[in-house]
Amino acid sequence: MIQIDALPAFSDNYIWLLQDTAKRRCAVVDPGDAGPVERWLAANPDWALSDILITHHHNDHVGGVERLKQLTGARVCGPANERIPCRDLALGEGDQLDVLGVTFQVLAVPGHTLGHIAFFSDQPATPLLFSGDTLFAAGCGRMFEGTAEQMQPALARLAALPAQTEVYCAHEYTLSNLRFAQAVEPTNPYVQQRFDDVTRLRADNRISLPSTIGLERLTNPFLRTSETLVKQKADEWKGHSNPTHVAVFAALRSWKDTF
């Protein structure tokens, strides 16, 4: 069993810290800043950092890699089709990766960036997904490099994972994402309940993650392109009919970009 904690970074990033408490080994996901990891290791000097997992090349996800590599010698694992500093292991669709005794499957999920990957494991009692900036709690990443034709199927693929899968995304965007979800589905009771719950959490400065795939299916408009009301709202926004899931997704993403 591994324990997972969040190390906050910058204004709204989370660096995920995976811990094997029996062997005093740990791994981190997307360390955009070395500082939070360094401070944790300094406070826990009997622990060793064994692995650094990277989902994509943006600096707020890789900025701390070189420093942590120099400090610990940890193995750096990241997408094969992106430039990742100090990468030891290049990963792509279908690869498997053993981290702290847990086997992760590598999923190609392009859209936010062209080479973006996610890490999924159904080996623990509760399945785990590290989704980077592809799937957010109640939202999804902007398409900086990819297209809707790439990103919508990638999100649909993640939505098809087991409902109990815990979703560890890289940013605390949940409340703003839920405000958009309310605009898309104002009568969705699950969205309203989640908005109320997350509002309370954030008022206490508490983290809103992890989510679950089941909760995302109920509340994340970008996973709900087959819902009649979601399509109607997308059509209203664009001023014309959007006949496919990809078109509905593209309309929602363009709306969210200016929301």
| H-helix or E-strand spanning residue 168 | strand 166-169
- Strand, helix or coil for residue 42: helix
Cβ proximity of 118 and 107 under 8 Å: yes
Report the C-alpha dihedral over residues 199, 201, 205, 206, rounded to 10 degrees: -150
Distance CA 178, CA 70 (A): 40
Catalytic entry in 56, 116, 197, 204: 56
Contacts 24+ apart (CB under 8 A), 142-147: 142/112, 142/253, 142/257, 143/111, 143/112, 143/253, 144/112, 144/113, 145/110, 145/111, 145/112, 145/113, 145/114, 146/110, 146/111, 146/112, 146/113, 146/114, 146/116, 147/111
* Active site (annotated) includes residue 116: no
Query: Which position among 20, 51, 58, 116 bears the catalytic label?
Result: 58
Single out the catalytic residue among 60, 88, 204, 235: 60
User: Quick check: is 245 catalytic?
Assistant: no
The residue from 61, 196, 240, 245 that is catalytic is 61
Annotated catalytic residue 56:
yes
Q: Are 51 and 31 in contact (CB under 8 A)?
A: no
| DSSP string of 190-218, one letter each residue | HHHHHHHHHHHHHHTT-----EEHHHHHH
- Count of alpha carbons within 13 angstroms of residue 57, beta-carbon side: 18
Active-site annotation holder among 116, 171, 196, 204 = 171
- From the list 33, 57, 112, 116, the catalytic residue is 112
**Any catalytic annotation for residue 133?**
yes
Is residue 58 among the annotated active site residues? yes
Catalytic sites, residue numbers: 56, 58, 60-61, 112, 133, 171
